[in-house]
Structure 1
Amino acid sequence: MQILSSIPNYATTSYGTSSSTQSIIKDLEKQKTELQADIQEAYQANDTAEDKTEKVQQLQQEMQQLEWKIQQLQAEEEEEDKETRQVKVTTQK
């Protein structure tokens, strides 16, 4: 199963609202959970040790990419929140 190919296009660009970012993060977290299950299946498969190792490594790479994307989105969201708070403070003065 290739999780990364199912990451929607909107998950690779900047976002306008915090709620849409939260939704995207939630979708990516769900994909991460599915990928964890795939990794467990790969460990338990009746494949050769070489095939099993290759598949697990591929799935772990996909997991790392998902985790990186989630961290990136969370950082963007935090920056957006910070900018929003700064604008509110500036307009209140």
Structure 2
Amino acid sequence: MTRILLACGISAGPWFLCVALIQGLTREPFDFTRNTISQLSLGELGWIQVSSFVITALLAIAGSIGLRQALRGAPGGTWAPPLVAVFGASF
């Protein structure tokens, strides 16, 4: 189970970037040089980016649980998991 949770954490970043890249390239007025990725959450297809934020958050939080299990008693095991969880919650 720990490996699955760690894999979730590892996949959070690529998932977010892939969804944002696909949306940014397919939505007509969007320009990566002028717009932020969070602006993709606006408009008719905004639900896709909002869902991406939620899924990324859940993956990062799952990764923090995996880190807690994997780093139990090791250096970094005290602070790394909560910091990754806060990062996930910020999404």
Q: TM-score, normalised by structure 1?
A: 0.49
Which of 13, 37, 43 is equivalent to 1:10? 37
Work out which of the two has the higher radius of gyration on C-alpha atoms and give 1 or 2.
1
User: Please, which runs of 5 or more residues in structure 2 have no aligned partner?
Assistant: 1-9, 21-35
Distance 1:16 1:40 in 2: 31
2:69 corresponds in structure 1 to 44
In 2 relative to 1, CA 49–60 (structure 1 residues): closer, same or farther, beyond 3 Å?
Answer: same
Is contact 2:40–2:46 with CA below 8 Å preserved after alignment?
Answer: no
**Residues 37-87 of structure 1, C-alpha deviations (whole Å, 9 max, x = no match):** 201101211453551121112112202311xxxxxxxxxxxxxxxxxxxxx
**Aligned-partner residue type, residue 70 of structure 2:** A
1:29 corresponds in structure 2 to 54
In 2 relative to 1, CA 20–41 (structure 1 residues): closer, same or farther, beyond 3 Å?
Answer: same
Is contact 2:41–2:47 with CA below 8 Å preserved after alignment?
Answer: no
Looking at secondary structure, tell me which structure has more helix per residue. 1
Figure out how many residues of one structure are paired with residues of the other and give that number: 64
Distance 2:40 2:56 in 1: 20
**Aligned-partner residue type, residue 23 of structure 1:** I
Aligned-residue identity in percent? 8
Distance 1:16 1:37 in 2: 27
In 2 relative to 1, CA 39–15 (structure 1 residues): closer, same or farther, beyond 3 Å?
Answer: closer
**Aligned-partner residue type, residue 10 of structure 1:** I
